[in-house]
Amino acid sequence: MIYSLLVLSSPVSGHGSRTAAEFAQCVLARGHSIRRVFFLDAGTLASSGTSVFAQDESDPVHLWVALAEQHALELVICISSALKYGMLDQAEANRHGRPGPTINPVFAVAGLGQLVDACAHSDRLITFGG
């Protein structure tokens, strides 16, 4: 089965982002595939390349980075939400005159068309957060 995930919640408020990452691990471990993980609204904060968490807390951003690196998982953040939350790749940083990117390079910035494409090419879209 092919899944796509939509993550709406911030990695620092609630458990939506962490639950989504754990769900992705389980799906992949069972031999299914994930077409794309799309981060929207506060979910775009999962792409932060500058977040630092206390040593006694798990790092939810690291969970996504590890999944992307181990499984070639496509992680996409919504361009509109990304700009509102200051999550910029190099191209957007240049375009808006900012000193540099603020997202981890395993994430890509794209429009809602990528979410539509994910839905069209997946058996299930699972939403986390709200």
Provide long-range contacts, Cβ within 8 A and 24+ apart, for 110-116.
110/76, 110/77, 110/78, 110/79, 111/78, 111/79, 111/80, 112/78, 112/80, 114/36, 114/38, 114/76, 115/4, 115/6, 115/36, 115/38, 115/40, 115/76, 115/78
Of the listed ranges 62-66, 84-88, 118-122, the least confidently predicted one is: 62-66
Give the model's pLDDT for residue 14: 75
Question: Does residue 57 surpass a pLDDT of 90?
Answer: no
What is the arithmetic mean of pLDDT over 91-119?
95
- Domain segments of the chain: what residues? 2-128
- Give the residue from 49, 45, 10, 6 showing the smallest Cα distance to 24: 6
- Give the residue from 52, 123, 50 showing the smallest Cα distance to 87: 50
Give the model's pLDDT for residue 43: 95
Give the global pTM: 0.93
Query: 68 vs 36, 85, 107, CA distance in Å?
Result: 10, 22, 9
Give the model's pLDDT for residue 36: 98
Of the listed ranges 15-24, 50-59, 106-115, the least confidently predicted one is: 50-59
Question: Does residue 107 surpass a pLDDT of 80?
Answer: yes
CATH superfamily of 2-128: DsrEFH-like (3.40.1260.10)
Q: How far apart are CA 4 and CA 27, in angstroms?
A: 11
Question: Does residue 93 surpass a pLDDT of 90?
Answer: yes
Which residues are catalytically annotated? 78
Helix (H, G, I), strand (E, B) or coil at 121: coil
Give 13 or 44, the one with higher predicted confidence. Answer: 44
Give the model's pLDDT for residue 66: 93
